[in-house]
Structure 1
Amino acid sequence: MKNKILYIVVFSLILNISIWGQETKTIKVACIGNSITYGAGIKKRNKKSYPVQLGSMLGDNYDVRNYGFSARTLLSKGDHPYMEEDMFFDAIQWNPDIVIIMLGTNDSKPQNWKFKDEFVADYHRMITAFDTLSSKPKIYLIKVVPVFQTRWGISDTIVKNEVNPLIEKIACEKNLQLIDLYTLFIGKAELFPDYIHPNARGAGEMAKEVYKQLTGKENQLVNQGKLKSSEYHYLRGGLKKSFIKFEQKNKVRVAFLGGSITYNGGWRDSLMQYMQKRFPKTEFEFIAAGTPSFGSTEDVFRLKRDVLMDGNVDLLFVEAAVNDGGKGRSDEEIKRAMEGIVRHVRNISSTTDIVFMYFVDPAKIEDYRQGKIPQVIKNHDKVAEYYQISAINLAKEVTDRIDAG
């Protein structure tokens, strides 16, 4: 298992270090929803949920992310309101170019639908949250799928006669494109084994329809045999500045700052070998600044001594997500330490590229399997998003690849 994980790490890093120096425009697609979006009940959902299949259809120029959260409601007074979850704020912070909203199924439960008079206002509030983003995303609303048998209080009568007509009305009022998945699945109960959630083929049919509405083109169900490493890499500012230096300068400096994962080499050594092979005319000075058990707080205090003593570096990898997760430090302390690293490096040289590394550990695997983003990764990525730092989420990729077999 350790060898398999190391292979995944090295392969992902080498694959993406080779493309991050290129000028690319990735269209970010956020799929907002409940367990139907999440892929509940689908074997190997990490390869066959509707957002994953949609991403495969759209291709490498799109980054499609699954923001499905089981049991969640659109209604703010529902038993599990989506807009009160961290996932909702994560989706907003991501600043997507396209937003696809599929909520309303769980709202049909009696304890939730008693607040039906607030459904339109709450939906408007969610739309506004995305509509005011700097990315100015295109927003799509989905008429939710049929309920083939009342379960868990979910009612097709309410979905068909009340929820979906309100969603259609909202789309018309806000001049948003409507995707009708209800009509698409009438008479197709065989695609919903538990009468509520689609199977893999049903999710594929959903993806096909969404793809058609997004692009105006037809598509076929795709082979989900492989996960794309690019889905776990957050390009942001990229590595263009450092790659230009690698191609034009005679000598460059690359540093690796982290704990025992960095100290022990492996991924670090493989990247060093790759860069030397990729730029044979360039002389590399590699700084291995890994210290076992150290996290971001310790790193920020030793940064000048261990990395910047002889001047700025051209490319810096920062690995602290594993040790930060077990140090008992507050969220604020972790964010301040990561920000301190970034600001100190950028104060010396604004042209230094930085990459945050989110390595895997058992706690992170468990969080992702429960549909949660590990808190330490959220802390690191908040800093990365603000400063447009590239990041590689190996914790999520390793989890998905293990679960996919």
Structure 2
Amino acid sequence: MSSTEPCRIACVGASVTFGRGLPNRREQCYPAVLQRLLDERYGAGGCEVRNFGYSGATAARVSNEPYWQTPSFTAATRFEPHFVPLMLGTNDAQFANVSARRTLARDLADLVEHFRGLGAEVLAADPPPAFPPVAEIDFDALRDEVRPTVRRVAVEIGAPLVDFFSPLEDARAGFPDGLHPTAEVAEKIAQIAFGALEPLVGRWLGR
């Protein structure tokens, strides 16, 4: 707990975190909305939220776009966050990543442990829904392999699991291309993240 520095929150993820498809992603992406919600709750300067989303990123290390090898991973590490909402997995369900999924559980756990090693508390995310047709995504693998793996890993390593799926599973119209949310849905994603983070941040800030 510290009163001399802001609570640093690193939003780690792929294109939904990055804000792909939004008219004004810098203001409408969920990390930006989360910053505003935390400012309203704790006052400006209490928290610093940064967006470390990287479009196409996976949790698996040997895939077509491993988060491990992105500039966002390097930047998030240098940020030395106190809290990390980690929203990866949808891209692990791409047809191109069928072999990479064999190590998904281990790689996801290692990614959580990487940020824990920096002193951060990591919140694992069951990612928002995706809706067919999306040519790259194996929806059976997303449902039967990836999501269960994320949930299982969270339990096994004791990471809080934030459910971004169930509250939005009927919001097909809010994902125009099947993957990326509208600004309205991005705000709902931020509200879910805020609900999970608020008590943790409040404890950290001593409020």
How far off is 1:216 after superposition? 4.8
The aligned runs of 1:78-227 (5 Å cut-off) are 78-133=63-118, 136-216=119-199
Q: Is the 8 A contact 2:58 2:66 kept in 1?
A: yes
TM-score (norm 2): 0.89
How far off is 1:24 after superposition? 4.0
State the match for 1:65 in structure 2.
Answer: 50
Give the % identical residues.
Answer: 28
How far off is 1:156 after superposition? 2.8
Q: Is the 8 A contact 2:115 2:121 kept in 1?
A: no
CA RMSD between the two structures: 1.5
Give distance in 2, aligned partners of 1:27 and 1:167.
Answer: 26
Give distance in 2, aligned partners of 1:92 and 1:99.
Answer: 11
Give distance in 1, aligned partners of 2:68 and 2:35.
Answer: 24
Which blocks of at least 5 consecutive residues in structure 2 are unaligned? 201-207
Letter in 2 for 1:117: R
The aligned runs of 1:45-56 (5 Å cut-off) are 45-56=25-36
Q: Is the 8 A contact 1:146 1:159 kept in 2?
A: no
Runs of 4 or more above 3 Å deviation = none
Q: Is the 8 A contact 1:34 1:73 kept in 2?
A: yes
Give distance in 2, aligned partners of 1:187 and 1:113.
Answer: 27
Alpha-carbon displacement from aligned partner over 1:70-91 (angstroms, at most 9, x marks no partner): 1111111111111011220111
Q: Is the 8 A contact 1:100 1:141 kept in 2?
A: yes
The aligned runs of 1:1-400 (5 Å cut-off) are 24-59=4-39, 60=44, 61-133=46-118, 136-216=119-199
Q: Is the 8 A contact 2:127 2:164 kept in 1?
A: yes
Give distance in 2, aligned partners of 1:187 and 1:91.
Answer: 32
Letter in 2 for 1:88: F
TM-score (norm 1): 0.46
Q: Is the 8 A contact 1:146 1:160 kept in 2?
A: no
Letter in 2 for 1:125: D
User: Bigger radius of gyration, 1 or 2?
Assistant: 1
Aligned length: 193
Letter in 1 for 2:140: T
Q: Is the 8 A contact 1:147 1:155 kept in 2?
A: no
